[in-house]
């Protein structure tokens, strides 16, 4: 039985990915900052672990407790919406610590066992905002674009060891907690001169003609994990596929 190790499983994409693999008879290591065992169906194949991807000790403990890992899914992330002029550098660093450095640190911790077994897949969940520039998302986009570049270069390093690295790029997902998680960081990040721009951006958010559902992301992660011929970048969701086609 293969094992998938997933970060950010308390809600949204991570929770759906964990459920998707569990239904397909994989051993699932579902990690979250504050572990909850009531979010997923009870199963002997499910192992819920605490993990803070910004804490090296937490990473080491989670990887040790997980045992052999066949697929690593770096999904944990935090949202951020605001004008660069209004963002404190502490906020910028917080976003990069989780979205970028956390993914790199966890990957470093898992790679030795994959390299030694000459098998494994690293899947990084980023965003289609890296394909099309949008206002008020510059820092968030930068944190995810860095992971794109990291993953594509990583894939070249790992090819000689038969280990794969792939990207899953979701589109806009109003059904997740992205907006709720981003809202506390918005209090001071939109200076008054940017208010008209912000109003226009928020109005555009009401368009739900094309969106991404959590299951779209789970399906894309499954493809990346199980199909050796899967492309490097896999858009997840109707809007994501449309954007990728235009990129």
State residue 247's pLDDT score. 74
State residue 118's pLDDT score. 98
Closest by CA to 104, choosing from 116, 118, 122, is 122
Rounded (5°) CA angle 232-233-234: 120
Q: What are the Cα distances from residue 213, in Å, to 7, 170, 171, 235?
A: 18, 9, 9, 12
Asked if 218 and 17 count as a contact pair (C-beta separation under 8 A), the reply is: yes
The whole-angstrom separation of Cα 46 and Cα 190 is 42
For 150, the token pair is 């990291």
- Across the beta sheet with 163-170, the strand order is 46-50, 27-32, 3-6, 71-74, 120-125, 163-170, 233-236
- Looking up residue 13, the CATH number of its domain turns out to be 3.40.50.720
Q: What are the Cα distances from residue 199, in Å, to 38, 86, 121, 123, 192?
A: 38, 16, 41, 35, 11
Range of the domain at 232: 3-246
Burial class (CB in 10 A: 0-12, 13-18, 19+), 110: buried
For 70, the token pair is 């066949």
For 235, the token pair is 């858009």
Our count of domains for the chain comes to: 1
Catalytic site residue from 5, 21, 26, 140: 140
Give catalytic status of residue 140 as yes or no. Answer: yes
The per-residue DSSP string of 182-246 comes to HGGG-TTSS-GGGHHHHHHHHHHTT--SS---HHHHHHHHHHHHH-TT--SEEEESHHHHHHHHH
pLDDT in tens, the chain (247 residues): 999 999 999 999 999 999 999 999 999 999 999 999 999 999 999 999 999 999 999 999 999 999 999 999 999 999 989 999 999 999 999 999 999 999 999 999 999 999 999 999 999 999 999 998 899 999 999 999 999 999 999 999 999 999 999 999 999 988 765 555 555 555 568 999 999 998 888 877 666 678 999 999 999 999 999 999 999 999 999 999 999 998 7
Find the DSSP H helices in the chain: 12-23, 56-66, 89-96, 102-117, 138-158, 178-182, 195-204, 214-226, 238-246
State residue 202's pLDDT score. 80
């Amino acid at each position: 039985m293969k094992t998938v190790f997933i970060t950010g499983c308390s809600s949204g994409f991570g929770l759906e990915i964990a459920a998707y693999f569990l239904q397909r008879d994989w051993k699932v290591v579902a990690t979250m900052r504050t572990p909850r065992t009531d979010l997923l169906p009870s199963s002997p194949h499910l192992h819920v672990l605490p993990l803070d991807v910004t804490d090296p000790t937490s990473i080491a403990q989670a990887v040790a407790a997980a045992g052999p890992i066949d697929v690593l899914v770096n999904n944990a992330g935090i949202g951020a919406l605001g004008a660069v002029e209004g963002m404190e550098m502490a906020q910028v660093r917080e976003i990069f610590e989780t979205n970028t450095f956390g993914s790199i640190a966890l990957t470093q911790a898992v790679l030795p066992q994959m390299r030694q077994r000459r098998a494994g897949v690293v899947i990084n969940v980023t965003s289609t905002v890296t394909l099309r520039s949008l206002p008020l998302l510059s820092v968030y986009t930068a944190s995810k674009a860095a992971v794109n570049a990291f993953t594509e270069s990583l894939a070249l390093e790992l090819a000689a060891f038969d280990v794969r690295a792939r990207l899953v790029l979701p589109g806009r997902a109003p059904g997740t907690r992205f907006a709720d998680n981003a809202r506390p960081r918005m209090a001071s990040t939109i200076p008054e001169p940017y208010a008209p721009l912000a109003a226009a951006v928020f109005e555009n958010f009401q368009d739900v003609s094309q969106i991404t559902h959590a299951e779209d992301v789970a399906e894309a992660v499954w493809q990346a994990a199980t199909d050796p011929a899967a492309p490097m970048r896999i858009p997840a969701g109707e809007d994501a596929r449309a954007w990728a086609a235009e990129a």
